[in-house]
Structures are given as C-alpha cells and as structure tokens.
C-alpha cells in the first residue's frame, strides 16, 4: 500500500467513523441526559 493510498483510506475511515458515531451519540445523549456538544466544548 502506497503512502497516498494509506492516507486516503485513513481519512475515509475517520470520516465514516465520525458519521457513524454522531447518531449514536445523539441517541445515547437523549437516553442518558448527556450534555450537548456545545456545553462540553464550553466547559473545556
């Protein structure tokens, strides 16, 4: 696997992971009354 292919695969897998985790967090946040992302970022 060349360096460019590895970079593209890594980027695409990161994007796919983010897209998959966003609805998961949204569902769990509602279920467990977790704070929104804006509140998390404001507290850091």
Provide the pLDDT for residue 30.
85
Entry pTM: 0.60
CA-wise closest residue to 25 among 39, 36, 9, 14: 36
Residue 29: predicted pLDDT: 82
pLDDT for position 26: 85
Average of per-residue pLDDT across 3-30: 93
Distances (CA, A) of 28 to 9, 21, 22: 28, 10, 10
pLDDT digits (tens, 9 = 90+) for 17-39: 999 998 998 888 888 888 887 88
Q: What is the pLDDT of residue 25?
A: 84
């Amino acid at each position: 696997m060349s360096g460019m292919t590895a970079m593209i695969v890594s980027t695409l897998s990161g994007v796919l992971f983010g897209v998959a985790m966003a609805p998961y967090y949204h569902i769990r946040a509602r279920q467990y009354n977790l704070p929104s992302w804006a509140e998390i970022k404001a507290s850091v």
